[in-house]
Amino acid sequence: MRLGVLDVGSNTVHLLVVDAHPGARPLPAYSHKTELRLAELLDARGAIGLDGVDRLVTTVREALEVAEDQGVADLLPFATSAVREASNADSVLARVADETGVALQVLSGADEARLTFLAARRWLGWSAGRLLMFDIGGGSLEIALGLDEEPDAAVSLPLGAGRLTSARLPGDPPSAADVRALRRDVRSQVARVVGDFTRFGAADRVVATSKTFKQLARIAGAARTSEGLYVRRDLSRADLRTWGQKLAELPVRERQQLPGVSEGRARQLLAGAVVAEAALDLFGVESVEICPWALREGVILRRLDRMRDGGR
C-alpha cells in the first residue's frame, strides 16, 4: 500500500511517500518538500498573516498533486506547533480544507513527542531498554522517556530553532548578550521538566531526531548521508559546547559553508545548538545517537498498527 504523510511543520511542508504494509518496515518512495518557515511568519498577534496562509494553501495544493502523481492511496495530513499555536488556527485550517480538500489534523505537543518516540523505539528495538528521546523542530522541543512504545513521560516545550531565532536572535551574527540571554531562558525552561523524567530512572540509551540534530552531528564530524542509513552517528555534549560557541561568532553566509548545513537552516542552527546543549547538559547526557526516523515515520507506524488491528 502506498501511503503519503503530509507534514505541515514550522519550517517546511514535507510530503513523504512510502510503500508500507502492517508488520513491515515502511520503504521511502518519494519525498517532496517546500520551505515555508511558518514559525517565522506569525505576526505580533500570533496569527499567520494573509500572505503566509496564501502560501500554505498553494503549497498544500501542490503537495496534493504530487501525492496523486505518485499513486498515494491514503494521505495522512497533519500540522504541528506553528499552526497549533497560531491565534487564527481555526480559520487557517478551514481555508486549507475549503480550497484544497485536505483536512489537517493538528497534533498536540504531547502527541508529537509520543509519535516521535514510537518511531525511535521501532528503529532501535526493545534491546535499547529505557529510551530517552530529544527532538528539536522549528517551533518546539519534544522530550520523551520510556521502556515501552508508549512513553512514561512526554513533554513539548516552545523551544524550536525557528521560533527562537526569529524572536530572540536578530543579529547576524547575534550579539553575545542576546545569545547569553537565550541560553539562560532555554536552560530555565528545560530545567523545569527534568524532574518529570528522572523519577522514572536513568535511560539505557539516548537518541536525538530531527534535521537540527542531524546537521549539528554532521558539522561535528558524523558520517554524511551518502554513507548510508545504517551508519551510526553520534553527537557529544562537548562537541555541542564547542560548536555552539563557534556558531555564535559566524554570520549566516559562513554557516552555510559548513558540512551538511542547508541554506534554509543555517540561520536557525545556533538556536538549535543552544537548545540541544541545554537538554543534554541538564539531563546529564554525554552523547546522543542520531535516529533517522522521527515524527513522520511515527505517524505512518501508528496508521499501520491501526490497519493491522482492523481500525482506521
Predicted local distance difference test score (pLDDT) of residue 312: 52
Domains along the chain with CATH numbers? 2-106 (3.30.420.40), 109-295 (3.30.420.150)
Q: Is 286 exposed, middle or buried (0-12, 13-18, 19+ CB in 10 A)?
A: exposed
Q: Is 13 exposed, middle or buried (0-12, 13-18, 19+ CB in 10 A)?
A: buried
Pairing of strands 12-19, 2-8: antiparallel
Pairing of strands 74-79, 2-8: parallel
Residues 228 and 223: their CA atoms lie apart, in Å, by 8
Which residue stretches of 125-173 are H helix? 161-168
Q: What is the mean pLDDT of residues 28-40?
A: 90
**For 192-234, how does the pLDDT look when each residue is reduced to its tens digit (9 = 90+)?**
999 999 999 999 999 999 999 999 999 999 999 889 888 999 9
Q: Please, which pLDDT band fits residue 311 given cuts at 50, 70 and 90?
A: low
Predicted local distance difference test score (pLDDT) of residue 23: 82
Residues 33 and 265: their CA atoms lie apart, in Å, by 14
**For 278-306, how does the pLDDT look when each residue is reduced to its tens digit (9 = 90+)?**
999 999 999 999 999 999 999 999 999 98
Res. 75: pLDDT tops 70: yes
Are 235 and 217 in contact by the 8 Å Cβ rule? The answer is yes
**For 77-104, how does the pLDDT look when each residue is reduced to its tens digit (9 = 90+)?**
999 999 999 999 999 999 999 999 999 9
Res. 22: pLDDT tops 90: no
Q: Please, which pLDDT band fits residue 48 given cuts at 50, 70 and 90?
A: very high
Q: Which residues contact 20 (CB under 8 A, 6 or more apart)?
A: 1, 2, 3, 26, 27, 300, 304
**For 143-191, how does the pLDDT look when each residue is reduced to its tens digit (9 = 90+)?**
999 999 999 999 999 999 999 998 999 999 999 999 999 999 999 999 9
Report which secondary-structure segment, H or E, holds 104: none
Q: How far is residue 133 from each of residues 60, 75, 95, 302, measured CA to CA in Å?
A: 30, 27, 35, 18
